[in-house]
């Protein structure tokens, strides 16, 4: 059974920094110094832990996954 998605809110500081919520860091095993790939689409910024990309998931697949999540969230707003 897939794990439940974590949805949270954060903000960008005046230095452009973003705090990744603790629940997300814990789930992904992120610690100080963890490296992320930053992908910008027309309307989203995607952060992907580098260790999870290693041949298992290509950038296009990541973007498609985010679009799918976005569509499901949009459908949920209509209810």
Do 63 and 39 contact (CB within 8 A), yes or no?
Answer: yes
Q: What is the mean pLDDT of residues 9-34?
A: 93
pLDDT computed for residue 10 by the predictor: 92
Q: What average pLDDT does the structure give for the chain?
A: 80
How many domains does the chain fold into? 1
- With H, G, I as helix, E, B as strand and everything else as coil, classify residue 35: coil
**For residue 40, what are its two tokens?**
């910008």
Q: Is residue 13 part of a domain?
A: no
Whether residue 73 is contained in a domain is answered as yes
**Residue 42 pLDDT level (bands cut at 50, 70, 90):** confident
Residue 8 lies in a domain: no
pLDDT for the residue 32: 94
Structural domain boundaries enclosing 34: 22-77
Query: The whole model's pTM is what?
Result: 0.61
Cα distances (Å, whole numbers) of residue 12 to 16, 17, 19, 20, 38? 5, 5, 8, 11, 15
Is residue 67 included in any domain, yes or no?
yes
């Amino acid at each position: 059974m897939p794990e439940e998605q974590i949805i949270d809110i954060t903000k960008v500081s005046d230095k452009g920094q973003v705090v990744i919520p603790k629940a997300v860091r814990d789930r992904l095993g992120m610690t100080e110094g963890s490296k992320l790939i930053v992908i910008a689409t027309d309307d989203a910024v995607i952060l992907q832990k580098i260790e999870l990309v290693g041949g298992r998931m290509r950038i296009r697949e990541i973007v498609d996954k985010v679009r799918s999540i976005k569509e499901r969230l949009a459908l949920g707003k209509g209810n």
